Amino acid sequence: MQTMQLMLGQGVFGMADWLALAAYFAILLGLAWWVILKAKDTTDDYFLAGRNLGWFIVGASVFASNIGSEHLVGLAGSGCTDGVAMAHYELHAWCLLVLAWVFVPFYMRSRVFTMPEFLERRFSESSRWVLSLISLVAYILTKIAVGIFAGGVVFGALLPELRLDLGPLHLDSFWIGSILVIVFTGLYTVLGGLRAVAYTEALQTIILICGSALVTIFGLQALGGWEELRRIAGSEMFNLWKPLVPAGVEGTWAPVREPGRMAWYFNDNYPWLGMLFCAPIVGLWYWCTDQYIVQRVLGAPNERQARRGSICAAFFKLLPVFIFIIPGMIAFALATSGKVPAMQQALFTADGQLARDECQKAFPMLVATVLPAGIRGVVVAGLLAALMSSLSGVFNASSTLFTMDFYNKLRPGASQHQLVWIGRVATTVMVVIGLLWIPVIQGGKGLYDYLQGVQAYLAPPIFVVFFLGVFLKRLNGKGCLAALIVGFAMGLFRLAVDTPIKLKSVFPDFKYAEGSFLWIVNNIYFQYYSVLIFLTCAVVMIVVSYVTAPPSYEKIKGLTFATLTAEDRRMSRLSWTKTDVIFTLVVLGLITIAYIYFRG
């Protein structure tokens, strides 16, 4: 322990920073403890906060759950290397409007705990089990592992000399940070359930937005202002349209940017066809059907609060471009101009090339170099808030899925207390698996690229069954199950092919023979492969459904647009007002303005 205490004093933190950080944890733990004392030992309270969350808590919780490690580490790193290219994913705030106006009525009427449970009511029990399994795999490979990894990256940048020696076990700042984030987050998540998660996330949203805004402000101040950023970064980094319509293909659908290269093997960053077709699939899956996000909406007391919470989250979702991507670009500009020598040394190699792997530290390095004492502590609290809110959300979602969709089915006689206890155990097990997956993330191009890749492989079948399921009443359980199995198999196959390449520390010389089948699979751009999965799943679901018996329309009444009753439509209409429509249009207008401004 002496080693750890000694190294803490050698970091970038001063006493004012430590006091600010201590104040954050004191307030956070105090709020969590207050919520835990109010909690009831029931599944409805533990997993859905008693279905009593107001619209602001829902919106802030959705945003805080989404804004996590992949943003403060991965998205800022992407801004440092590729400019505003990844802003396409962040401007998917419109997907939350689809959730608000299309899916919220179905979800709130069904009174379900989980998305797989909704799928069971629409299709079949088998579909529920398969979706639960896909979701748990996705959470372990993305949210849990990525959250743990990013905690280590943040600590590694802010306290690089931190060490802890425990006999034969030597932990550096990366692993110490990862473990600390897990322990603090897991503590209040396991004890308090969704109520503790939602209320702490509302607090963390405020701290995160304020802290990240300070990074942007002080970063621009150190650089010399917005115009200086545009001058150094250049029009290329400010061009949102380039990934969609690159030079030379304005009048064609050809996805090839470089002459002589086949589209199947095209691996340039974010080709326009991939962004046009794949990004919306992943976005709509994530925002409208993912348990991790939708669980907060399910915690609302009624359709009006759930819809307004979704619209509120859409407003919050517009912020990451300015509080994460722009700081990443500021870090690039500061390093390029040499105004912060430490950043230049960290982000550029000796021969003047940008070190892409090091760019993942862009945001925490800005915190360490441009912020004054005291403010730095507040911003680091915001970073930790992002990490902890993201992890707490996935912990709660994972435990809900495992407990309600697996254990409760296998043990229908289990008591409320037993179900809550099993949810806590499930969370612990998934954390351990996530820790073991970190080496795969370390071998990738970058955190955000890794995350988008895995989601692109696992999202299409879920997107297909939910969206086609509510729009086409003829589709049945057999078609849904076939689409899920085929899509999941295609996604896992691609992950299995990619993993040995990414495990450079284990297989440094591994590669597939050029031109072989596995080489082709590995080199298909991940977004194109995602679209291939989507098309395959859609065809499979429709064909299998139409060659088998139709579903019982009485059973699926109220679960598709074609089977809504007059009373369903009347009650849904009463749940919204002109105010909801106006704010929806404002969100769409702001998205349009962003696309107009970031045109290079």
Please spell the DSSP secondary structure of 418-442, one letter per residue.
HHHHHHHHHHHHHHHHHHHHHHHHH
pLDDT at residue 547, rounded to an integer: 96
Q: Is residue 266 part of a domain?
A: no
pLDDT at residue 503, rounded to an integer: 62
Q: Is residue 262 part of a domain?
A: no
R_g (Cα) of the chain, nearest Å: 24
Q: Is residue 355 part of a domain?
A: yes
- CA–CA distance, 591 with 582 (Å, rounded to integer): 15
Q: Is residue 263 part of a domain?
A: no
CA torsion angle 463 522 356 430 (round to 10): 50
- The segments of the chain whose pLDDT lies below 70 read 1-13, 36, 38-52, 68-70, 72-73, 141, 145-175, 177-179, 181-198, 242-272, 385-390, 393, 416, 430-431, 433-450, 502-508, 600
Q: What is the value of pTM for the model shown?
A: 0.78
- Please check whether residue 16 is in contact with residue 178, taking contact to mean a CB–CB distance below 8 angstroms: no
Alpha helices in 445-577 (DSSP H): 447-471, 477-502, 517-523, 526-546, 566-574
Q: Is residue 432 part of a domain?
A: yes
pLDDT at residue 238, rounded to an integer: 86
Structural domain containing residue 112: 2-257+271-597
pLDDT at residue 448, rounded to an integer: 58
Q: Is residue 265 part of a domain?
A: no
- Please check whether residue 462 is in contact with residue 139, taking contact to mean a CB–CB distance below 8 angstroms: no
Residues 6+ apart with CB under 8 A from 26: none
Q: How many helices (H) and strands (E) does the chain have?
A: 30, 2
Q: Is residue 36 part of a domain?
A: yes
pLDDT at residue 489, rounded to an integer: 94
- CA–CA distance, 254 with 264 (Å, rounded to integer): 12
Q: What angle (nearest 5°) sits at the alpha carbon of residue 332, between those of residues 273 and 207?
A: 90
Number of domains in the chain: 1
- CA–CA distance, 484 with 487 (Å, rounded to integer): 5
pLDDT at residue 266, rounded to an integer: 39
Q: Is residue 189 part of a domain?
A: yes
Token duo for residue 550: 């139709």
- CA–CA distance, 343 with 333 (Å, rounded to integer): 10
CATH at residue 239:
1.20.1730.10
H helix or E strand, kind and range, residue 171: strand 169-172
